[in-house]
Amino acid sequence: MEYALLVGGCFIFSLGAVLLIEPYGFAPGGTYGLSMVFHHLWGWRTELSALCMDIPLLIIGTIVLGSRFGIKTLLCTLLIPAFMWLIHQTYGFDSLIEPDVSNRITESGLTGVDAIKLFDHQLLAAIFGGILYGIGLGMIFRSRATSGGSDIISMIVNKYLHISMGTAVIIVDGLITLSTVIAFGDWKLPMYSWLIIIIESKIIDMVIEGQAAKTMLIISERPDDIRKIIIEDMHRGATLLPAKGMFKGEEKSMIYVSLTRREMMNLRYRIAEIDPMAFINVVDSSEIIGRGFKDIKE
């Protein structure tokens, strides 16, 4: 299952890269973002440029950081360029949204950023490119692999400069994204790339965490009735906590329960029927580990 996720994630990432990201001159971080800049500047194949950077980085990362990457990261490093090459050979270099743009570019005689300006749907490509990137990377991460590349640079920066991993990733990918300004002199390109990164990160979270979870804190005069709904009808666990109202000093009970979004909506409506005066606080839970949710071993 993990290897199926890895292969599927690499293929979806490659689709987004070839059909939506590469044609528009975006560089949303990573070695593939930098390789796309090289593609538009000098005509180099994106997948070959990225592979030429990823393999040495993987070797350096193994020497500096130890053998923490494993066979899956190596497989990912090889699969993505292979899929990109296959898509290029079968589909070409046109955008999925604007399949006729290469003819327009050829007829115009323009190159580089001037040719990129002939595209009409950069925003649409950035949105859906970010979605495909997020799905692909999310599947790769769920398979317990990494995509290598600039992630390894970030890990090395984290180790020797003692910068947090999140900050290191932002610095490395931010510099790669800004390279489009140096290469093409167009500030719109890094702005689109930042949009891709934002969308991609949200989609990755959704893929990794699955269905969004909610935590409910419930104060009610009828805790026993609510307990029956949670335990007997929804087959979920909950915790009953002692509480004391600060206004009147009354002793109360507070129910602490974690549910999926759908279960939360169902429980909320059930509580409204039995106790319209109940007080409910719903909190977004980025991750819930334990029985009924994600296994702690994951």
What residue spans define the domains of the chain? 2-209, 213-285
Give the tokens for residue 168: 């290191």
Lowest mean pLDDT among 4-8, 62-66, 179-183: 62-66
pLDDT band at residue 69 under the 50/70/90 scheme: low
The pTM assigned to this predicted structure is 0.74
Alpha carbon of 166 to those of 41, 169, 172, 259: distances in Å?
Answer: 30, 5, 10, 29
Q: Compute CA distances 122 → 31, 117, 128, 180, whole Å.
A: 21, 9, 10, 15
Closest CA to 132 of 223, 14, 232, 233: 14
Q: Which residue has the higher pLDDT, 212 or 4?
A: 4
Tell me what pLDDT residue 30 has: 86
Query: Is 70 exceeded by the pLDDT of residue 233?
Result: yes
Closest C-alpha to 115, from 125, 107, 123, 127: 107
Asked if 23 contacts 46 with a C-beta cutoff of 8 angstroms, the reply is no
Tokens of 212: 């969004």
Question: Packing angle between helix 165-184 and helix 188-209, nearest 10 degrees?
Answer: 150
Percent of the chain scoring above 70 in pLDDT: 93
Contact 91, 19 (CB under 8 A): yes
Q: How confident is the model at residue 71 (pLDDT cuts 50, 70, 90)?
A: confident
Q: Tokens in use for 283?
A: 């909190």
Class of the CATH-defined domain 213-285: alpha beta
What tokens were used for 218?
A: 């419930």
Higher-pLDDT residue of 40 and 256 is 256
Of residues 188 and 254, more confidence is placed in: 254
CB neighbours of 262 closer than 8 A, spacing ≥ 6?
211
